Amino acid sequence: MKNNLILYIGILIFGIAAPFIFPAFKVQLSILCVLIVLATTWNIQGGEMGYNSFGNILFYGLGMYLCASVQVGMFFPLAEWTESGGEKTFVHTPVQFFQGMAVGLIVAAVVPTIVAGLIGYSILGLRGHYFAICTLGLGVAAGEISGGIEIIGAGQGFTTPPFPDVGSLDSRGEFFYFLSFFVLVLTFVTVRSIYTTRFKLILNAIRDNEDKAEAMGIETMKYKIIGWMISAFFCGLAGGIMGGLVGYIDSTDVAFDGREMGVFMVLMAILGGKGTLWGPIIGATVFHIFKEGFWTFFLGWQYVALGVLIVVIVIYFPEGIMGWLREKYPERFGEVVDEKDRKAQVELK
């Protein structure tokens, strides 16, 4: 326990110091924070609850559009803003920008949570692969439909308000980094405290055998919906930040990007090891470094590499890094191991 506390404080200090140690990578670090948030919240469904969702991208994209439209709509007419394509006819003052961002992020977190609660009863009644395909359909449908709505930019996209001029040049990167780091810490604390309660045990019971869990008197539907709402809350926040960070929202390539971000979050959680607290965090970090490496060295071939990576991870590495570590060093995970038995097993392999 004491070790853990030191570890957490160490990570916190590193997190705060990171943008000053690596000043060139501020944007990358912020994206990493967002990715970790997405992977960790996906893990609540996919890892703990056994509901493999491709649809968390819905909340992410919803948050992105909501945050940006609230930020613009609070001060300027939204339709004219999107029509002008982000030209400098309307300029946010710093106060307006931060006020809009704050309100926008609140809306971006609350509305997806409500949406998750509303659709949860219908969608979470599906099981296994039907749930996976249904949520995949939801994500893509949201992308296609939002791509046809005029007021949020339709096919041309939506330019989010540019960061206002406040003194130094670096303030944009620092602002977004600390915002996303704050959300990351918030997510981690929430998820960690959830995982120490009965709630996590219920989620695991649903994963292992839902019918039995129901027969034991657990209202599984209620807990499934709550789990999904927690995910939606943080996905919405992450989306809102990402919208500001990227500066441009496109319906199918940025916001409801079921083919990329929607698969990334699944992949990161699986790479790290689903069903663990640290797995998605490690997975997201490794994945992000890997991905940026590909983007730099194999420019043009990155998606091909990505496809191969998905297949390889899914087929040869389904337990992920944490699962591998657990098999290798079971003592570290608090499991009592019979040395003889273990040796026999190693020999068998």
Partner 1 sequence: MDFMVFQYPMISVQACLDGILLGILFALIAYGMALQWGVMNIINIAQGDLVILGGYIAYFMYLYGIHPAWGVIVAPVIMYFVGIAIYKLVINKVVDRDLFISILATFGISILFMQLMNFAFGADVVLANSDYGTTMLFNNNVVLPNSKIFSAFISILFAICLVIYMKKSKLGRAIRATAQNARAAKILGVDTEKVYAATFGINAALCGVAGALISITFTIHPYMGLPYTIRSFMIVIVAGLGNLPGVAMSGMGLGVFEEFADYILGTEFRIGSVFLLLVLILIYRRFKLSKKREYLK
The tokens 């967002």 sit on which residue? 34
For partner 1, the closer of residues 114 and 312 by Cβ is 312
Closest CA to 254 of 233, 238, 232, 270: 238
Comparison of 188 and 264: residue with beta carbon closer to partner 1: 264
Contact 65, 243 (CB under 8 A): yes
Structure-block tokens of residue 185: 């810490």
We find the least distance from the C-beta atom of residue 125 to partner 1, in angstroms, to be 4
Nearest residue to 27 via CA among 129, 137, 219, 170? 170
CB of 166 to partner 1, least distance (A): 39
Least separation, in Å, of the C-beta of 26 and partner 1? 29
Please name the helix (run of DSSP H) or strand (run of DSSP E) that holds residue 248, with its range, or none: strand 248-249
Name the minimum Å distance from CB 171 to partner 1.
37
- The residues binding partner 1 (CB under 8 A) are 52, 122-123, 125-130, 132-134, 136-138, 140-141, 143-145, 147-148, 154-155, 259, 263, 266-267, 270, 300, 303-304, 306-311, 314-315, 318
Distance CA 11, CA 34 (A): 16
CB of 120 to partner 1, least distance (A): 12
Strands 248-249 and 158-159 turn out to be antiparallel
Nearest approach, Cβ of 195 to partner 1 (angstroms)? 22
Neighbours of 144 (CB within 10 A): 12
Check: CB of residue 284 under 8 Å from CB of residue 43: no
Choice between 212 and 342, CB closer to partner 1: 212
The burial class, CB within 10 Å (0-12 / 13-18 / 19+), for 240 is: buried
10 vs 318, beta carbon nearer partner 1: 318
The one-letter amino acid at 298: F
Cβ proximity to partner 1, 206 vs 266, nearer residue: 266
DSSP single-letter state for residue 160: P
Alpha-carbon span 280 to 285, nearest angstrom: 8
Q: How far is the CB of 1 from partner 1 (least distance, A)?
A: 35
What type of residue is 205? A
Instruction: Map tokens 């810490």 to a residue.
Output: 185
Tokens of 233: 């809350």
CA atoms of 106 and 18, how far apart (whole Å): 26
Structure tokens at 245: 């960070």
Judged by beta carbon, residue 94 or residue 137, the one nearer partner 1 is 137
Complex with partner 1: residue 74 or 263, whichever CB lies closer: 263
In DSSP terms, which residues pair with 249 in a beta bridge? 158
Cβ proximity to partner 1: between 121 and 329 the closer is 121
CB of 41 to partner 1, least distance (A): 18
> Which CB sits closer to partner 1, 157 or 161?
157
Cβ(299)–Cβ(280) under 8 Å?
A: no
Which positions ≥6 away from 349 have C-beta within 8 Å? none
Nearest distance, CB of residue 317 and partner 1, angstroms: 11
